[in-house]
Amino acid sequence: THLKRNPGYATGFAQYSGYVTVNEKAGRALFYWFFEAVEDPESKPLILWLNGGPGCSSIAYGLAEEIGPFHVKPDGASLYLNPYSWNQAANILFLDSPAGVGYSYSNTSSDMVTSGDKRTAEDSLEFLINWFERFPEYKGRDFYITGESYAGHYVPQLSQAVVWHNKATKSQTINLKGYMVGNALTDDYHDHLGVFQFLWAAGMISDQTYKQLNDACDSVSFIHSSHACNRYLDIADQEVGHIDPYSAFTPPCTPNISQSNQLLKVIGTVRERYDPCTEKHSTAYFNLREVQEALHVPAELAPSKWETCNNLINEHWKDSPSSVLDVYKELIQAGLRIWMFSGDTDTVIPVTSTRYTIDALKLQTVKPWRAWYDDGEVKPHSTHSEYLLPRFWPHHFYDE
């Protein structure tokens, strides 16, 4: 699984990619791409990164657009180094989950329309158990699970599965220390409340639409929405107009991209220098057969067309609890460290949603609200609750 070369860029650190089978009977296997830390990987923690959707690729977003060692150039055929890559500070593992996302696959076609939170957590745990056997030098290493948006479900649910597994097996092979989530879907009621308040306060939707959204959507699932809620979400989309919903105040990629129900799409991106067209660049790059060969993706397993998100999985998503706050409370009691961070111009799961969900945990504040300075300039603001570190507008959080 060791990458001897990487089309479009030469690196000075070890990287590995390949498949781990998570269900022999169904023929489900998950694709990963692993990067060791630039310096001293033996002494650095291990991080797993998950993107959401549900049905979106961590390779496409987390790696190639956000925190990975390199990003795709506009030519769709070459890469450039990301100076803010998290492998400057840790060993980082990107996983495409569930099966059917990115290069991950299943030999059972019905798996594309039967995925849900429970099976995703089970398969991801099986992936970790087998991955640590493949990379035994990481057994017992400090380990953190991270992700964004709909991974606000994946991350705590997988963390819970690891805690249960460790307790049942009395094993510390997976030495989970905590987890981090960004602009995370956490609790449908509070997340909806925060989204609508953010759009209204930013002057993006009318007073009438704001009231209608609160009335129609306050008890509705983000994933399994009602017809009434969808109707007002469509009205809100028209009022908001063509923006990049993940970076509301920077130019979108093109003026003619369909935005139908963008408020329901939970992907999320946080970038240092924002290129709104990175999805297009990544799609071109990961469809190159040369790239697939270098990543150990056999031709017979490669998707006929690699896509950033699998819409079939998204549209047929099954179980999705309305809240994971109970999981947070359980894992806080289990002693895990938790960090919630939130970009301040994401309209999909905005900072207001994050603040409402944190308040719902009813934790005691340990450190008061404060400014965070970077080179003498105020960047985000943060506060610190017992067991939980929330931070907002994490433009430079890598540096601290």
What tens digit of pLDDT does each residue of 122-148 get? Answer: 999 999 999 999 999 999 999 999 999
- How far is the first Cα of the chain from the last one, in angstroms, to the nearest whole number? 33
Residue-wise pLDDT for 255-304, tens only, equals 444 333 343 333 333 333 456 788 889 999 999 999 999 999 999 999 99
Domain around 205:
190-264
Whether residues 160 and 207 fall in one domain: no
pLDDT at 389 over 70: no
In this predicted structure, which of 20-24, 25-29, 166-170, 276-280 has the lowest mean pLDDT?
Answer: 276-280
Q: Cα separation of 90 and 13, whole Å?
A: 12
Position 93 scores a pLDDT of 99
Whether residues 45 and 74 fall in one domain: yes
Average pLDDT, integer, range 57-62: 96
Phi-psi region of 55 (alpha: psi -120 to 50; beta: other; left: phi over 0): left
- pTM attached to this predicted model: 0.89
In 91-246, where does DSSP find H-type helix? 117-134, 151-169, 188-201, 207-217, 227-240
In this structure, the number of other CB atoms found within 10 A of the CB of residue 381 comes to: 15
Whether residues 251 and 278 fall in one domain: no
> Which tokens sit at 195?
């989204």
Tell me whether residue 354 is in a domain: no
Structural domain ending residue among the three candidates 231, 264, 297: 264
Q: Degrees (nearest 5) of the Cα angle 50, 59, 92? A: 60
CATH number at residue 111: 3.40.50.1820
Position 181 scores a pLDDT of 97
Spatial CA neighbour of 186 closest among 327, 339, 335: 327
Residue 377's pLDDT band (boundaries 50, 70, 90)? confident
Whether residues 41 and 115 fall in one domain: yes
Whether residues 19 and 57 fall in one domain: yes
Whether residues 42 and 169 fall in one domain: yes
Whether residues 283 and 249 fall in one domain: no
pLDDT at 89 over 60: yes
Whether residues 204 and 154 fall in one domain: no
Contact 59, 169 (CB under 8 A): no
Whether residues 237 and 316 fall in one domain: no
The percent of residues in the chain predicted with pLDDT above 90, rounded, is 72
Whether residues 173 and 100 fall in one domain: yes
As for how many domains the chain has, the answer is: 2
Contact 37, 23 (CB under 8 A): no
- 379 compared with 87, residue with greater pLDDT: 87
Whether residues 144 and 291 fall in one domain: yes
Position 250 scores a pLDDT of 78
Average pLDDT, the chain: 88
pLDDT at 388 over 70: no
Burial 36-50 (b: 16+ CB within 10 A, else e): bbbeebeebbbbbbb
Tell me whether residue 254 is in a domain: yes
Say if strands 28-35 and 105-106 run parallel, antiparallel, or are unpaired. antiparallel
Whether residues 238 and 135 fall in one domain: no
Position 243 scores a pLDDT of 84
